[in-house]
């Protein structure tokens, strides 16, 4: 996708509305501002091609929909739209990981779980039934960690996808799904899974001014077999080697819903003296990621950098502080696609990759019904970024 994001050969499918639930309001506001800027910059080029510059609400000060999900004292809820959505192209945004939000149940305070956020999304879809089209943007795919059935257990992610399309959702947009094959549950409907390697590399280059991008100085590491595809793509674009760990687990017991890790075994060439980049989709408790970082430092890696799409930090930040002070890793890069605590944003080891502009470009393209293939595979942009970075080193 071109960097000017001008879509001057098409007209919007319908007037754009961004229906952001409170769980991701700040991200939606940033995305909205980018879209406003895109379209204002385009107006001079577009006004002679269409009926007029204000065609179907193209030029607006904001595309955010005025809505509210309120709750009764019993904990029951409803979604109310404070403006008409008839004939519009709605992009409903929700962050199912935002546990900071609370509501009252018979005088008791409850923190919202992913299930609560998912229910609010369904309420929004029901309220917006007169829209021309409804698209759902769910950066962290609901129940995506429960994506396959091995024994007598629920298959929650697939069930949720089927439920959304049965309610009339046309497209589901997510980022770095834990297992993108879950889209097989809805093979006849739109499911787009975007990844942030370009934003990771951009944030990395902004932080590292003298990074040498070659096989002697840099290496990409997959922390487990599940992250192999991400790491291979990352390494190939940088033109460096890749290594991986696999987790040896104790399948005789289950702790916190999973088999405990006995050891991390490494496959690959020596990391001694190299800067290593660990690439994965999420940091949950962080135990596996920290163990991987420690293993790499024990193998005499020079620098350890962690790149994860979602930083959940479900067991707090104390262990990350401890490992950082011990020098086991240099810093962690995550995106702004999920809720981050104010404490996390102040940490010296934390760096953020902003996805707002990327998401705005996706919404703008889908609203015009044009191809988003370049966004799904940003190889050209990454190669250009690497070339520019290398030229500055000479």
pLDDT tens track for 12-56: 889 999 999 999 999 999 999 999 998 887 776 666 665 555 566
Contacts of 294 (CB under 8 A, 6+ apart): 323, 328
Average pLDDT over residues 177-182: 89
Residue 185, both tokens: 């549950």
0.85 exceeded by pTM: yes
pLDDT of amino acid 49: 60
- Give 2's pLDDT tier (boundaries 50, 70, 90): very low
Place of tokens 């309001």: 25
Residue 390, both tokens: 């290398």
State phi, psi for 71 to the nearest 5 degrees: -125, 145
pLDDT of amino acid 132: 95
The more confidently predicted of residues 260 and 312 is: 312
The more confidently predicted of residues 357 and 371 is: 357
d(CA 99, CA 272): 40
Q: Is the pLDDT of residue 72 over 70?
A: yes
- Give 83's pLDDT tier (boundaries 50, 70, 90): very high
d(CA 30, CA 360): 9
Strands (DSSP E) found in 176-330: 190-194, 218-222, 241-249, 261-267, 275-283, 303-311
Q: What is the DSSP letter of 147?
A: -
pLDDT of amino acid 56: 63
- Give 339's pLDDT tier (boundaries 50, 70, 90): very high
The more confidently predicted of residues 245 and 335 is: 335
User: Which pLDDT tens digit goes with each residue over 276-300?
Assistant: 999 999 999 888 899 899 999 999 9
pLDDT of amino acid 158: 93
Look at residues 309, 284, 314, 313 and name the one whose alpha carbon lies nearest to residue 230.
309
CA dihedral 205, 305, 352, 311 (to 10 degrees): 150
pLDDT of amino acid 228: 87
Mean pLDDT, the chain, whole residue set = 89
Average pLDDT over residues 369-393: 83
Name the helix (H) or strand (E) containing 93.
strand 89-93
User: Which pLDDT tens digit goes with each residue over 185-238?
Assistant: 999 999 999 999 999 999 999 999 889 999 999 999 998 888 888 899 999 999
Tell how strand 108-111 and strand 133-137 pair up. Answer: unpaired
């Amino acid at each position: 996708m071109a960097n000017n994001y001008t879509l001057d050969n098409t007209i919007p499918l319908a007037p754009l509305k961004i229906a952001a639930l409170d769980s991701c309001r700040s991200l939606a506001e940033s995305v909205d501002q980018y879209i406003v800027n895109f379209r204002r910059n385009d107006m001079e080029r577009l006004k002679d091609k269409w009926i007029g510059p204000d065609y179907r609400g193209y030029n607006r000060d904001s595309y955010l929909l005025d809505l509210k999900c309120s709750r009764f004292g019993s904990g029951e809820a409803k979604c109310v739209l404070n403006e008409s959505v008839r004939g519009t192209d709605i992009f409903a945004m929700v962050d199912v990981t935002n546990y900071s939000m609370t509501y009252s149940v018979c005088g008791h305070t409850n923190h919202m779980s992913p299930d609560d956020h998912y229910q609010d999304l369904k309420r929004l879809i029901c309220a917006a039934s007169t829209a021309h089209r409804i698209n759902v943007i769910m950066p962290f795919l609901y129940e995506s960690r429960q994506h396959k059935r091995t024994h007598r257990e629920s298959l929650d992610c697939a069930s949720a996808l089927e439920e959304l399309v049965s309610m009339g959702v046309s497209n589901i947009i997510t980022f770095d799904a834990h297992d993108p094959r879950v889209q097989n549950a809805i093979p006849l409907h739109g499911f787009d899974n975007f990844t942030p390697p370009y934003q990771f590399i951009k944030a990395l280059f902004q932080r590292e001014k003298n990074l040498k991008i070659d096989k002697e100085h840099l290496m990409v590491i997959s922390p487990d077999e599940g992250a192999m595809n991400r790491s291979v793509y990352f390494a190939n674009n940088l033109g460096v080697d890749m290594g991986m760990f696999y987790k040896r687990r104790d399948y005789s017991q289950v702790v916190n819903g999973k088999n405990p890790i006995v050891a991390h075994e490494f496959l690959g060439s020596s990391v001694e003296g190299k800067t290593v980049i660990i690439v994965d989709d999420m940091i949950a408790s962080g135990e596996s990621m920290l163990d991987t970082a420690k293993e790499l430092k024990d193998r005499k890696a020079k620098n350890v950098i962690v790149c994860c799409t979602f930083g959940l930090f479900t067991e707090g930040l104390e262990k990350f502080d401890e490992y950082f002070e011990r020098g086991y890793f240099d810093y962690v890069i995550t995106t702004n696609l999920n809720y981050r605590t104010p404490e996390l944003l102040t940490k010296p080891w934390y760096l953020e990759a902003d996805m707002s502009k990327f998401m705005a470009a996706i919404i703008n393209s889908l609203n015009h019904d044009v191809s988003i293939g370049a966004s799904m595979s940003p190889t050209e942009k990454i190669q250009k970024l690497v070339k520019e970075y290398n030229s500055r080193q000479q």
